[in-house]
Structure 1
């Protein structure tokens, strides 16, 4: 069974990409994952291939994807980023 990430974990991934990734115009990229936000920061997005995660201000979360394999790859990459971030902050 696929492990579901929480909004808090997705926000940690967003912050990790924003703080360590490469800035490209109004987006940040780390590996194959992009992260960006709207002008006031109330809505944030993560994107990998056909996977888009929308994180909204009041704790709402929307995950869209076409291929389950892409979503699985995406979640594995997110979990790896979280583990790396945890090791760096020990």
Structure 2
């Protein structure tokens, strides 16, 4: 996930959070990661307390974070969620 995000991975994690996560204001939360989308559904957001991932149309994405270790922890959370049954 460092250089290029796999759209199937991001969307699968997004859907898993929506299906299995707890409904919270503006989205769903699972394992400390919140998932929500914009009104038209073209941009999805995955975020925890330290990292925000905006993933949009044409596979464009942007991470917001302050420290590399925050991004690494976030990536580990996404991988763990992707492996959940």
Match of 2:79 in 1: 79
- 2:15 aligns to what? 15
Q: Is the 8 A contact 2:31 2:81 kept in 1?
A: no
Map 1:1-90 onto structure 2 (within 5 A). 4=2, 5-84=5-84, 88=85
- Aligned-residue Cα RMSD (Å) equals 1.4
For 1:35-76, what per-residue CA distance to the aligned partner results, in whole angstroms no more than 9, with x for missing partners? 111111111100012211111022111112111111111111
TM-score (norm 1): 0.81
Q: How far apart, CA to CA, are the structure 1 residues paired with 2:56 and 2:40?
A: 12
Instruction: Name structure 1 gaps, 5 residues minimum.
Output: none
Partners of 2:45 and 2:57 in 1: CA distance: 12
Structure 2: state its 5+ residue gaps. none
Highest CA radius of gyration, 1 or 2?
1
Q: How far apart are residue 34 of structure 1 and its match?
A: 0.6
Give 4+ residue runs of structure 1 displaced > 6 Å after superposition: none
